[in-house]
Structure formats: C-alpha cells, structure tokens
Structure 1
Amino acid sequence: MSIFDKLKTLFQPDKTDVVGENPIESLQTEEVHVLSPHQPQLPQPEVTYYPDSKIYEVQPDWLINEDILRDEGVIFGLSGSDPDEKTSIIRSYFSQQTAGTEQVIKQQEEKIGELNYWIEEREEAIKRNEADIVAVKNQEFEGQHHLPRTITGLLLAVGIAFGNYFLIQDALKDQFVQSDIIALGVFLAGMFNLFGRVSFLHDQEKQSTWRRILEEIGMPLAASVFVFAQVYESQPIIKSLSLLGFVFFLFMFSGKLLLGNLTILKDDLSIFQKRNQRQKDKVRRVEEWEAEIERFKAEIGKHRSEKQEILPELTKLIAERTKLNAQRDMLIKVFESEYNLAVNYKNRLSDKQIKEISDVD
C-alpha cells in the first residue's frame, strides 16, 4: 500500500467493530509491520547525486517506478517542500539523456538548412538565366543598315560616272591629240571637287552662302563650260547647250551620289558588323546560360539526394527526442498531481495527524 493510499484511509469510514479505535494507530501498526526490520528490504541502486547540477549519474528508482514517484509527491506535499526541486531534477536528468540526440539533431538540421539554401540559390539562378535567355532572344539591335540600297545606289553612281567620262571623251576626241588623258582630267575635276558631305541643295540646317555655292558648283560648272566650248564650233547650238547642261548636272548629282553612298556604305558596314557581332554574342551567351542551367540542375539533384539521405535519420532522432520529452512531461505531471492532492489533504488534517504520518514514514 502506498503512502497516499494510507493517507486516504484517514478519510474513509471506520469499518471496525471496536468503538473508539484510533485509525492513526492502525495505520502506525500496519506501517510498522511493513517496515519491520525482520523482513528483508529490496536492494536499492547506488545513486550518485550532484547537488549543484541536480543530475543523477544512475537513474533513480522513482524515475523507474511510478508508485515510488507518487509517494515522493505525497511526501513533498505533506512536508511543504518546494516541488520545483524534484521537477528540476527530472528535467535535468532527461536533458542529460537527450543532450547527445539534441546535438545530432542540431547538426542534421543545420546541414539540411544549408542544403535548402543552396537548392534555393541554384533555383533562383536558373530562373534568372532563363529570364535572361528569353530577354536576349527577344532583343533586337537598334541600328538598322541599308546595305542593299546603298550598294545599288553606289553601282548606279559608278555607272553614271563612267558614262559621263565616255561622253566627255567622245566630245574631246577631235580637239586634242591626247584626248583620253584630257578627258580624264576634266572628268576628275568635275566629279571629285564635291568634297562636302551634304550638298547645299539638301542641307536645311546650314545657311547657303555664295562662297559655299561657288565652292560646290565652281569646278563642275567650269568643266561643263570647257566641254561646251570644245564642241560649240562643230555642233549645233542646241546640241552644245544640251551637252553643257547634261554634263553639269551629271557632275552635280552623280558625284554627290557617289561620294554620299561611299559615306553611307561605311556607316552601313559598321552597323552590319556590330549586328553580326551582337548576334554571335547572343548565341554565345545563350549557350553559356544553358550550360549553367544544366550544371545548376545537376547540383540541385545532388543536394536533394544528400537531403534524402539525412531525413530518415533525422526523423528517427526527432521521434526519439519526442518520446523522451513525453516521458519527462508525464513523470512531472504524475509528481505534481500527487503533490497537489497531498497539499489538499494536508489542509484537512490536523498537525497531530500529519506528525503521526510523518513519524510513520
């Protein structure tokens, strides 16, 4: 019979036929009989207790036997002792039991956290690379070239220039012995004196002055008049004037067309080269990003495999810790329950009865 069961008999009706029998004396007699020195006592485990740390080196009996723990709660309740002393010992004991498990769990959780971090980082990198690939593929080069049109215009200008040269040569062949060389000189003088980038006829930003006009039309006009003077005597006036006007405007427009197309051709070739280089860079960057994506996916698979290897062991350790903590909480609740009941019974007992029970204990 436990101490608490004996305590409850004090409040049960007297079933003896003897009038005036003291239940306390019966309890004392029974208890003395149980604790008689003639009966062998059960061997108790040797326990080393450290008062400062409140940690047991060997598991105490009251942690193994729930009835003994209940008796401890009753004794603490009747004696008015602080229950935190016993509960702190229970917590310290189980804290010692779970210390190794807690350390391993912490290490495994840190490892999983690190793996999750690397997985998330690689997934974000994959998303960035995929977004960059889409952006680069949809990116268009701003500069536009007109190489076909420029080359066609350049060929037309060259054809017109050659035609103008042969026209001048034919007009001067009967006037000079070395007409071919003279015709070439007249042609070059009329054609390549147009060194300005934009003709005054097309430039709306700059004001046209007489010097600029003379600079642009002086040599073409002089070359045309020279050709006119050579054919004036041998050709009708209408034909001569027609040749003058035709050669002059060929100098003016074909020369500008030739030189202008050469300048535009340079710009178009530059844009064309940049466009091709940009396309090559686009292909190269896309290939590099796709290679990185494959590498990141391989790393993610590796990290997930490592994570799957850790999770079963971690789950087992957490279950073990949960089991020990549940056992700890159960023992604390048992002790506190018996302690509170003993405190309640203590208020209903007289000091004499408490002293007699304590003496029996």
Structure 2
Amino acid sequence: MKTITKGKNMNNFKKVGLTALAGSLAAVSAHAAEMTVSGATMLTYTSEDSSEVTGNPFGMKTNLGFTASGEVNGYTVSYMQTSMDQFAGMSSARLSVDMGDMGTIAFDQGSGSGLATIDDKTPTAAEEIWDGLADSSTSGRVGAAGSSGVFNYVNTFSGVTFNGAARTGSGTKNSDGSSSGAGGNAWDFALTASGDTMGVEGLTAGLGYGQAENGSATLTSDNDDQHMTVFANYSMGMVTAGVQMSGINKGAKASTDQEFTAWGVALNVNENLSVSYGESEVDFLKPSAKHVTESKEGFAVAYTMGSMKIAGNRNEVSGEAGVTGASDSMTEIALSFAF
C-alpha cells in the first residue's frame, strides 16, 4: 500500500519556512523610538514681473516634518523626512547616526550638507534676496557635492564645526537603487565658528571649498569644477551685518566662471518685528565675450506673534544669469501658522 506523504512534508516545510521567517523578523525587530511631527501652513500673495504672467496671485502650501530617534546598539539613530504640499511627495530626508565624540554621519536626500549649508549666509528678516527670481537663484551660489544622494559627516573640534559631504556620480534624488542621472563624483566641506572661538563676541564666520568632476577627460574638459566661499556676520545689539564672497571656477574649457559678492543688514526693531536689506553682484567671466555683472537687491520685513508670522519681501535683479539687459522682480506677502 502506497503511503502518501506529500501533504505532511509540505506542512513541515511550511512550518520550517515560517519559523525561519519569524527568526529573521526577530533579528530586526523595532526598538523603542520617539516620533515627532511638526508643520506649518503658509498662505501667500505673489506679484511677478510685468513681463511674466502672474495668474492667480494667491497660493498655499503645507509642510509636514516627521522625525524619529532612538538608540540602536549604543548609538543614537535618527531619521527625518519633510513632505510638502499635503503629501504631494517627499521633498527631503535624512538618515543619521550620532557617534558621540566621533561625530555624526548621515545619508542626505536634500536636507542640506557640506558647502551648500553656507552658500548664502547674509542676514535677512525673511527670504533671501534671490528668492522668487526666475533663473538667477543659483547664480554665484556654491555647493560642489550638493545635498542629494550624499554622505555627510559633521563634528566639532575646539569650537570649529566641520561639515563635509561627498557623493559618487549624480546628485539626483533616487529611491533604493542607483541613480539614473549623469554626473561625476564630488566632495566639499564647510568650516564655521562663532563667539568665544573667534575671540570676538557677536562674530560668526566660516569658509568652505569643494570640487566636482565635470565629466570624463575629453578635448572640452581638463580640470574639476572648484567651489569656494568665505563669510562673516557680526551682531551688536539689535543689528546684524554680514558679507560674503564666493567663486566658482569651471574646469571645462571655454566655460564661464563666476565671482560672487554680497552684503546684508538686518534690524530687530523689537522681539516681534524685524527688517532687512541686502545687495549682491555676480560677475560672469565669459571666455570669448564681454563679461556681464548680475546685480540683485532685496528688502524684507517680518512680524511674529506666537505661532503666527506675516512676512514680505521685494527682490529685483538686472543682468540676470549673466545676460545683458535681462531683468526680473518679485513681491511676496506670506502669512504662516506653525503647529
């Protein structure tokens, strides 16, 4: 008589599979972590330049920030993600491990790392003087590695904070897989210090440098792109004044270098009201054409009362993005509620 064992063996196989799966899940079981959620809603009125179509000038966006933190094998591991416009998608995320005196290492997808954290440190009461201008927001702003798809290391030594970033290939954001964007390797860093470390109360200063490959060695490329900057801000009473100088030297032949200078002054009228004014210039050093200087200026005001803030700014630019005669302007009023 033939004994049928297929069902029994299959049942045993299922038991073994479930047991192995349970063991695997137990090995990566969740640890207790603190989860926090914060956010803000902003209602805006924007008026574009006369050469642009404003359309409906009213708009609104909602930002939600999620932060989780807990101890894993003796280290503090944290994760943050910012979603904008009612879960329309992830705008930035960061996974970091705090190793105590050895510093913090993180993988960054847009929250800010390295040289990009000091691309514009001039004081302002609200938005920067380039905010809302058509194509010139990146003019003169440094950041070789960027802040997307980069490994970030941060530590403080004798009062000086080192913030370094490095990436392999494209800086394009991507999920759990390789990035499809083209681009070379890059690295950069920022050094910042303030207060007693600088020997002058009220002074904050920093500098940074970085390099980015501009492609494989060809007849049109000979060196890496170089980014560098230095800034200083000084606060005395109600007033904060700052200056910054940056340079972007392109490695590719027949390319346009940029030299950036900026200054700004912010005044805290009282604990609720602040105003600011700033100017900047970017010299576009064209190898086979006349150099063009882009000039920006901006005024901003902000009033805060509890979790409510109303802010406005007026920004203008001429010689935009190194184009002679190109100009733009933008006025915005924003009412925001934090929660």
Higher relative contact order (CA 8 A, sep 6+): 1
Whose Rg is larger? Answer: 1
TM-score when normalising by structure 2: 0.20
Higher helix share: 1
TM-score when normalising by structure 1: 0.19
Higher strand share: 2
